[in-house]
Structure 1
Amino acid sequence: MQADLEVANMFPQTLSRSFDQLLDKSVLYTLNRRVSDSLERTYRESLSFAEVLAQTQVNERKTAVYQLSAPGEHPVYLDTPTGEIRCHVRVRLTADPHAPLLLYHHGINELPYTSSWWRIFNRTQFPVHNVCVQAPYHDSWMAPFAEGFASLQNIYQMFAGSLRLMELVQTHFEAHGSPYTLLAGVSWGGMTSMLYEGLFQNTRAVVPMLSSPDLAQVIWDIAHMFKRPIPLPLPLMKQYLDFTPIFRRCDPQKVFPVMGENDLFFRMDNHADIFEDAGLQTIATGHITGLWQPLPLRQHLSSVLQSLGMGS
């Protein structure tokens, strides 16, 4: 009898896991077909990530920096190694002008770039100024892969552009009364948030959700899933796209990661160990279901804010 009950209890969990992973796999199949072989062709001639970041700067002559603390969407113009790029930030203010700043970053190919931000935050007004940052190459449906993955350097550019926007917004809000800044992001945005804290180390907390700093492993796992050949061996790819060494500069006491137990984008068996010192939390969800049913992510964020004495 007890065994029958255990089997009955396992069935919904197994069904949910199968659905989560079927949905992840169907999305990954499409993404895998859209990723070109440019990484293998361009890694030798690419600028390094440090060089791309150093040569990416906000054009403050074209960007109305003074407007960044006003609610709504604002364009930000970047000067980059390959020319000008226009991105955006969307600002949502709380009542207290001296509230902390929460910088949120979306996932790859998320259009509009505010989709997950809206789903997570539209039902709850956290006591923070909340700003969503748009990565380069996220103005149209095909651009994140057609342009963002056109070369290794463009992958670096997506990160570098976001980092400069985050730096700009943090500097502006803290100069106008915000006592400190929090970072949160899903998927690619979680990766970007970890990069930001690892490089600059000037935020109160980082909340990467359904994410990991090891992009090389993600690309490798997806290619392996669909038997797409990659000429680069994994150790070589990790030299260029594993950002774990930068993540290791973060104070683990400031990092509050959450991963999906059924996630096929960021597989726990390949990524969970990265967070062994950061108190990894897990939720029973896949990658896509976690983004489209964001209550567990919202609850995780709320618990982090409460642990920092902020509440919701």
Structure 2
Amino acid sequence: MFSVLNHSVIRQLDKLVLYTMNQRVPESLQTTYQDTPAFETVLAQTAVDLSQTPDYALSAPGEHTIQLNTMLGPITCHVRVRPARDPHAPLLIYHHGFSEMPYYGSWQRLFPKNHPYPVHSVCIQAPYHDHWRAPFEQSMASVLHIYQTFAGSLRLMELMQNHFEANGAPYTMLAGVSWGGITSLLYEGLFQRTAAVIPMLSSPDLAQVLLDIAEMFGRPIDISRRELKQLLDFSPYFDRFDNDKVYPLLGERDLFFRYENHQHHFANCQLNTISQGHISGFFHIAPLRQHLTQTLQHLIPSNKQVEDARFPVISQPVA
């Protein structure tokens, strides 16, 4: 369906969803930012509650509940695990988009059971994503809550990487769509422990997304552009690591992460594009799967431990 939509309709789909999102962003986001601690301070005070998390069971297939202790109180999150047959297969950690319900929806479509990739596949649930109202009412309540959402996801990713690599995975790769792409880039910028990052329909600059949405709908912003960039442009973390390990995909008609405002971040990367918007690209999943498949085919065969792995056959998508 989305493959045959004309360009005007593709953009209107994005605009319709953005209008709804713009209406749901709490005013408190603009009025509570002055005393926000640094992101790395929030991360330092975010920890997995190991007393309630059976680490030994984390590689078992299915969903696992993870408890976090944070400066905003305890938070319950989940991860979904689909282990590879080979215990020595690499690990791929996937992160969903903002307000995606259920959190594993796009993961199931990108990693279908009947066409498994030769990887241990893990899907991370961000904090405040257990109810359809929670992402806006809680994650967007303040800059601190945005930081906490990212920090919680990073601790879950760290937990899963530590577990799988301790049990035979030779290395870890990250992939994420939209908000999940930002999260993946943040993780590598902070820890620099992964072999590759695959951000799709995303960039490290959340501030630019919010500025573009405000401009589109004429919404006044009480935070100056400079302050917003200082708070929510995570490009400095992206600049900490080798961009050669980043395999990004952008939508040429995306009104969330506008190509013209975000492509410069990937000037030193192997940037791929699709003729889609954010919503059409998200739901017409074949081009994203093809990008993921081609990237993994490029990365994995160089590792002898998985040289006999087979990849799913992806038909050529219609742009």
- Say if 2:120 is the partner of 1:144: no
Corresponding residue of 1:170: 161
Q: Which deviates more, 187-196 or 284-293?
A: 284-293
Query: 2:208 & 2:25 partners in 1: Cα distance?
Result: 15
Q: 1:38–1:152: 8 Å Cα contact kept in structure 2?
A: no
Query: 2:9 & 2:274 partners in 1: Cα distance?
Result: 15
Please report how far the alpha carbon of residue 45 of structure 1 lies from its aligned counterpart in structure 2 after TM superposition.
1.8
Q: 1:136–1:158: 8 Å Cα contact kept in structure 2?
A: yes
From the superposition, tell whether residues 15 and 66 of structure 1 become closer, same or farther in structure 2 (CA, over 3 Å): closer
Task: Summarize the alignment of residues 110-189 of structure 1 with structure 2, pairs less than 5 Å apart.
Answer: 110-122=100-112, 124-189=115-180
Q: 1:184–1:206: 8 Å Cα contact kept in structure 2?
A: yes
Q: 1:101–1:178: 8 Å Cα contact kept in structure 2?
A: yes
Query: 1:144 & 1:216 partners in 2: Cα distance?
Result: 17
Q: 2:198–2:247: 8 Å Cα contact kept in structure 1?
A: yes
Say which SS state the counterpart of residue 265 (structure 2) adopts: helix
Task: Summarize the alignment of residues 282-293 of structure 1 with structure 2, pairs less than 5 Å apart.
Answer: 282-293=273-284
Say which SS state the counterpart of residue 86 (structure 1) adopts: strand
- Equivalent of 1:200, from 178, 181, 191? 191
Query: 1:75 & 1:16 partners in 2: Cα distance?
Result: 42
Please report how far the alpha carbon of residue 241 of structure 1 lies from its aligned counterpart in structure 2 after TM superposition.
0.3
- Equivalent of 1:42, from 21, 24, 32? 32
Query: 1:221 & 1:96 partners in 2: Cα distance?
Result: 45
Please report how far the alpha carbon of residue 17 of structure 1 lies from its aligned counterpart in structure 2 after TM superposition.
1.4
Corresponding residue of 2:285: 294
Amino acid at match of 1:143: A
- Say if 2:268 is the partner of 1:263: no
Say which SS state the counterpart of residue 147 (structure 1) adopts: helix
Q: 1:260–1:268: 8 Å Cα contact kept in structure 2?
A: yes
From the superposition, tell whether residues 18 and 222 of structure 1 become closer, same or farther in structure 2 (CA, over 3 Å): same
Corresponding residue of 1:76: 66
Aligned-CA RMSD value:
1.4
Amino acid at match of 1:275: F
- Equivalent of 1:254, from 233, 245, 249? 245
Q: Which deviates more, 149-158 or 119-128?
A: 119-128
Residues 81-133 of structure 1 show CA distances to partners (whole Å, capped at 9, x for unaligned) of 01100000000111111110000000000010001111111153100000000
Aligned length: 301
Say which SS state the counterpart of residue 206 (structure 1) adopts: strand
- Say if 2:80 is the partner of 1:90: yes
Query: 1:278 & 1:175 partners in 2: Cα distance?
Result: 30
Residues 52-97 of structure 1 show CA distances to partners (whole Å, capped at 9, x for unaligned) of 0000000000111111100000000000001100000000111111
Unaligned runs of 5+ in 1: 1-11
Q: 2:3–2:284: 8 Å Cα contact kept in structure 1?
A: no
Amino acid at match of 1:240: L
Please report how far the alpha carbon of residue 250 of structure 1 lies from its aligned counterpart in structure 2 after TM superposition.
2.0
Corresponding residue of 2:45: 55
Q: 2:31–2:222: 8 Å Cα contact kept in structure 1?
A: no
Say which SS state the counterpart of residue 61 (structure 1) adopts: helix
Please report how far the alpha carbon of residue 14 of structure 1 lies from its aligned counterpart in structure 2 after TM superposition.
10
Unaligned runs of 5+ in 2: 302-309, 312-319
Identity of aligned residues (%): 58
Query: 1:17 & 1:127 partners in 2: Cα distance?
Result: 36
- Equivalent of 1:215, from 185, 206, 221? 206
Query: 1:250 & 1:142 partners in 2: Cα distance?
Result: 35
Corresponding residue of 2:306: none
Corresponding residue of 2:219: 228
Corresponding residue of 2:233: 242
Relative to the length of structure 2, the TM-score reads 0.92
Query: 2:215 & 2:27 partners in 1: Cα distance?
Result: 14
Corresponding residue of 2:23: 33
